[in-house]
Amino acid sequence: MKKTWLLGFGFFSISITWALYNAFVPFFLEGYISSVAMIGFVMTIDNYFALFLQPWIGSKSDRTHTRFGRRMPFLLIGMPLGALFTAFIPFHTGICTLILFMMLMNLAMSLYRSPTVALMPDITAEKNRTRANGIINFMGGLGSILAFGVGSILYKANPSFPFIAAACVTLISLFILLRFIQERRDAPGYAAQTAEMKTKVSLKGQLDRTTIFLLAAIFFWFVGYQGVETLFTLYGKNEMGLTESEASFSLTFFSLAFVLFAIPSGLLGSKFGKKRVILTGVTGLFVVFALVPFINSLLVLRILLIIGGLFWACININSYPFIVSTGSEKSIGTRTGLYYLVSSLAAISSPPLLGQLIDVFGYSILFYCAAGSMLVALFCVSMIRHPETMSRSKPNATLHP
């Protein structure tokens, strides 16, 4: 578990960067673009890179073998570049340079996101993965809290400060990972696994009934979540009359609840089953999203966001270990790529579609659509009729203790 906490710094840096990106870049774009739909489209640039790059990079990292390990070379390249271009964003001189810096930052982060995530199951036994995922998401949630809480204060002082701070955090996190996480040492039998993993894993071969329904569920709950996360600050400003700092700070309550419940939800997934806990989370978040359009009070809104954060933890903490557990150990990177493929598809389609609906029907439609997406996700999860841990029944499928 000590290694898991240290690995959490990778998720910490990713979360703090994306949270700042989603919270404050729309304000930059709003200065050049009047259409909410177009802002939503531009905000999906990262997901186009993720759509094409992350499945390939995840699969490639399964078959990579260097003195630094399988995943670490991708971090060594991507994290410094990601930090550099993150710091550049607030220093744009117009819409062209803003979009250029956004594209370069997103390209760099696509290089290391899947390998960073795949490190967790690499060094963790299957039976401990939900708990480990709770720990690393706890660290990631702390990053979101700092982004929305401290970041809003820094943004008020100077719009460039949050992005510079995120760049520094990324570089510090890379140093910690290099110093304390060594794949050869922390995954006993690394050499034997590497020899096996050089064989190519077929993407088509991963798509059994369980995986298809699970990927569909992941897609639909991310349609709801990504749309809300990307457009919430504009919703708070234009629908509820909040200031920019109040709207961004309100997301802190969602993130705080997620952080506090990250580890407990992992423990619940281990005890009661990942599918059951995910079903609870999807049902609860459906109710929360359905209630938000009727709320006018900032206090009540933040209470609902706290409750929503608890339910999101039930979903998020258990979904990645669920998708990994339904395949073999040699497919971890590939299935990680599939996870990000469908979440990226959701993030590509959700903000511009919801932005277009907002342009036509107003901001209240945002949460109605998010609730509808959760309802479809609930149906997909309920259709899964497969044991959660196929890998336990397969020989040579358990990671080293």
Give the phi and the psi of residue 186 in degrees, each rounded to 5. Answer: -85, -10
- Residue 132: domain span: 2-182+194-385
| Greatest mean pLDDT range, 58-62, 95-99, 342-346 | 95-99
Read off the pLDDT of each residue in 136-145 and give the average, rounded to a whole number.
80
Computed over every residue of the chain, the mean pLDDT equals 81
- Which H or E run includes 98? helix 95-122
Query: Do the domain assignments include residue 187?
Result: no
What one-character DSSP code corresponds to residue 200? P
- The enclosing domain of 168 has a CATH number of 1.20.1250.20
Contact in structure between 171 and 79 (CB atoms under 8 Å): yes
Cα(71)–Cα(75) distance, integer angstroms: 7
What six digits make up the tokens of 59? Answer: 């699969």
- Whether residue 396 lies inside any domain: the answer is no
pTM of the model as a whole: 0.72
Residue 172 counted as domain residue? yes
The answer to whether residues 134 and 265 touch, using CB atoms and an 8 Å cutoff, is yes
- Rounded to an integer, the average pLDDT of 331-347 is 79
Considering the domain boundaries, does residue 398 fall inside one?
no
User: Is 390 among the domain residues?
Assistant: no
Domain contains 397: no
> Which tokens go with 339?
């996870």
Q: Who's near 189: CB < 8 A, 6+ residues apart?
A: 400
Q: Give a yes or no: residue 337 inside a domain.
A: yes
3-class DSSP state of 230? helix
Cβ atoms of residues 89 and 101 within 8 Å: yes
What's residue 335's pLDDT?
79
Q: What is the pLDDT of residue 386?
A: 63
Would you state the pLDDT for residue 188?
A: 47
Asked if 145 and 364 touch (Cβ cutoff 8 Å), the reply is no
pLDDT band with cut points at 50, 70 and 90 for residue 343? confident
In a domain? residue 176: yes
Distance, CA of 234 to CA of 354 (rounded, Å) = 12
- Give me the number of domains the chain comprises: 1
pLDDT in tens, 91-137: 999 999 999 999 999 889 888 887 887 788 777 777 777 888 888 88
Q: Per-residue confidence at 391, pLDDT binned at 50, 70, 90?
A: very low
Give backbone dihedrals phi and psi of 43, rounded to 5 degrees, phi first. Answer: -70, -10
Distance (Å, whole) CA 354 – CA 179 = 43
